[in-house]
Structure 1
C-alpha cells in the first residue's frame, strides 16, 4: 500500500491532464466572450453617448428602459449571452466526457505502481459494466452542466440592467460618464464568463472523480481505499492542505472539495501481505502536509493561511485538521471549505 514516487507522479499527472483540458476550455470561452463584447462595445457607447448628451444627471429607470438604442444594445447582448451559454455547455460537456474516458487508464496505472512488478490488476478496461458506468457518469455530467448554464445568460443580462439603472455620476463631460458606464456593463457581461469558467472546471473535475471512483470500486479486490491528494503550493487553500494525505473508504465520495478545487482521489492498494505477496514494501513517499507547511518560508505560510489563522496555529490553539470544515451547499453538494476564523476562535 505504499505510495511510491512513481505513484505520486502518476496521480499528479492524471489530475494535471484533466486541469489542462479545463484550461483549454476556459481559453476557448474567454476568446468567445472577448469577441462578443468587442462587437457590443460600439452600440453601447453610441447609445449612452446619445442618452447622456446635454444631461447633468443620470437618467431614471423609465428613461433607460424606454430608450430604443440602449434596449437594442441590451437585446444584442442577451442574444450573445445565450450563444455563449450554449458554447459553455458544449465545451464543458466535451471536456467532462474526455475526462471520464481517460479515468480507467489513469487509475490502472496508479494501482499498478503500488504492486510488485508482474502483478496485474483487475482494473477494468473499456467495455461491459465499466463502459455503462462511464456512460451514466457522462449523462449526469451533461445534465448538471445544462442545468447550471441555463440561467447564465439571464443572470448576466439582469446584472447589466442593474448597472445601467444604478448609473454613474455625470460630470462636466457626459462622454466620459458614458465610457465609465460601458466599463461597468462590460464587467456585468463578463460575470457570465466567470461563472462559465467555474462550471467548466468544477464539473469536469467532478466527472473525472466520479469515473475514478467507479473504476476504483471495480478494483476493490486489491484496494484498501483512496487517499486525498492536494497540490502543496501557495495556490492551494489551507482546507485542501489539511485534507491532503487523509485516507477514506472506497464507498466515500470525493474528494468533496470546494468550487474550483483541484484535489484528486488516488486509489490506495492493500498491503502486499494482505494480497498474499510475501515481500517487504517500499517506504510510503506521500509527503506529510503539516511538516511541509512548517518547512515553508513565513511569507508563504501567511499567503496560504492568513495572519489570524497562523497566529492561532503558532500557539497551538487549533489543530491541523481544524482548518477544513464540511459545509452544505444547497443546489450543489457538501464540500470542504476553509474554516472561518470565528469558528476556530470558538473551539
Structure 2
C-alpha cells in the first residue's frame, strides 16, 4: 500500500514551501556577504600589488603579507561583516523561518492525511497536536546544528583566507597578475563560507520539516500507520532518492536524506476498513521510483543514473545489470555514516554497484 498521486503532489508542495521559506533569508545573507567583500577588495588588492612591486621578482615572505596593515584591517572588517551577517541570518532562521515552517508542516500533514479519507470523514476529523517535547527537541536541534555552526563559520573562513594570502609567491611574474591570482583564491574561500552556510541551513531545515512530520505521525498513530518516501523526480534528483521514492516506512523510522536533500515523508493513513469508515477515496497509487525510471527512454535512464552525464560507461554497465537482474533497484541507494553528522542515504558509487553486479552474475 502506498499514497496516491494527489498526496505525493501535496508532499512536493511542502518541499517547495520549505525551499521558498529559505530563499529570502539567503538573498539577504548573499547581499551582506557581497557588500562585505566589495568594501575591502580594493584594499587587499592594493596591498598585494604594493608587496609584489616591492619584491622586484623575488619571493614575498609570508610574514610580510600577514603583517601588512591594510590586509590586517581588511581581514578584520571581513570577519566582523561575516559575524554580523550570520548572526542576523541565524536569528531569522531560528525566530521567524522555523516557527513558520513548523506551522506549515502541521497544516500540510493534515491535508495529506485528509486526502486519503472519504470527504465526510475528512471534513470533520480532528487530529492530535504533535507532542510539545518533540517540537522542543526540533528547536533544540536547529540551534545545535544550524545556529551554532553558523556562528563558528567566520573563524574558519578567516583562517582559510589567511592561508591563501600567505601563499603569495613572486617568481618574476607581473605584480598585478600575482595579486589578481591571490585575491581570487582568497575570494573563493570567502564565498565558500556563504555556500557552507546555505548547505548547513537547507540540510537541517529540511530535516526539521521531516522531524515535525514524524512528530505529527506519531501523535496520530490511531489513524496513520506509517509514511511514504516522496522524491522530487526531476533532473536534480539523484539515483539514491529515486530508488527510495515510494518506499513505505514505520512512523518511528527517520527519513535520512543526504546533504541538501529535498525528499519529504507523506503520512500513510490506515485502510478505511480498519478505521471503521465508509466511503470512496482515490486509490490510484503513485509510481514508485523504479516504475518511474522504467518509463524513461534509454538515454534518459543513462543520464539519470550518471547525474546528467550523457555518455557514461559505468552508467551503461549499471543499467545493463539492472535489466539483467544482477542488481536490484534498491541497490542504487546506500546508508553511509559521517563523522560529526548523522548517517545519511547516498547514491551507491558506480564502483560498488559494478562489484556487486559482478558478484551476483557469477
Tell whether the structures are fold-level matches, with TM greater than 0.5. Answer: yes
Does residue 102 of the first structure (1) align with residue 104 of the second (2)?
Answer: yes
Measure, in 1, the Cα distance between the counterparts of 2:298 and 2:37.
42
CA contact (8 A) 1:168 1:180 kept: no
Instruction: Provide the alpha-carbon RMSD of the alignment.
Output: 2.0
Alignment match, 1:246: 247
Cα deviation for residue 84 of structure 1 reads: 2.8
What SS does the corresponding residue of 2:45 show, helix, strand or coil?
Answer: helix
1:98-148 deviation digits (Å, cap 9, x = unpaired): 2112211111110000011111444235xxx64554344223312322222
Query: How many residues matched?
Result: 343
Measure, in 2, the Cα distance between the counterparts of 1:336 and 1:235.
16
Measure, in 1, the Cα distance between the counterparts of 2:228 and 2:37.
44
CA contact (8 A) 2:65 2:165 kept: yes
Cα deviation for residue 297 of structure 1 reads: 3.9
Q: 1:209 to 1:163 in 2, by over 3 A?
A: same
TM-score, with structure 2 as normaliser: 0.88
1:123 aligned to which of 124, 127, 137: 127
What SS does the corresponding residue of 1:328 show, helix, strand or coil?
Answer: strand
What SS does the corresponding residue of 2:82 show, helix, strand or coil?
Answer: helix
- Return 5+ residue gaps in structure 1 as ranges: none
1:164-203 counterparts in 2 under 5 A?
Answer: 164-167=165-168, 170-203=171-204
What SS does the corresponding residue of 1:336 show, helix, strand or coil?
Answer: strand
Measure, in 2, the Cα distance between the counterparts of 1:288 and 1:323.
14
Measure, in 2, the Cα distance between the counterparts of 1:108 and 1:100.
13
Cα deviation for residue 277 of structure 1 reads: 2.6
TM-score, with structure 1 as normaliser: 0.92
1:37-80 deviation digits (Å, cap 9, x = unpaired): 11121111121111111431441222222222222222222222
Measure, in 2, the Cα distance between the counterparts of 1:167 and 1:271.
68
CA contact (8 A) 1:242 1:290 kept: yes
CA contact (8 A) 2:62 2:168 kept: no
Q: 1:57 to 1:96 in 2, by over 3 A?
A: farther
1:1-347 counterparts in 2 under 5 A?
Answer: 3-55=3-55, 56-93=57-94, 94-119=96-121, 120-125=124-129, 130-131=131-132, 133-167=134-168, 170-253=171-254, 255-279=255-279, 281-306=281-306, 307=312, 308-315=314-321, 316=324, 317-347=326-356
1:304-342 deviation digits (Å, cap 9, x = unpaired): 212213422223332210111101122221100111222
- Between 1:273-282 and 1:316-325, the stretch displaced more is 273-282
Q: 1:300 to 1:54 in 2, by over 3 A?
A: farther
CA contact (8 A) 1:108 1:121 kept: no
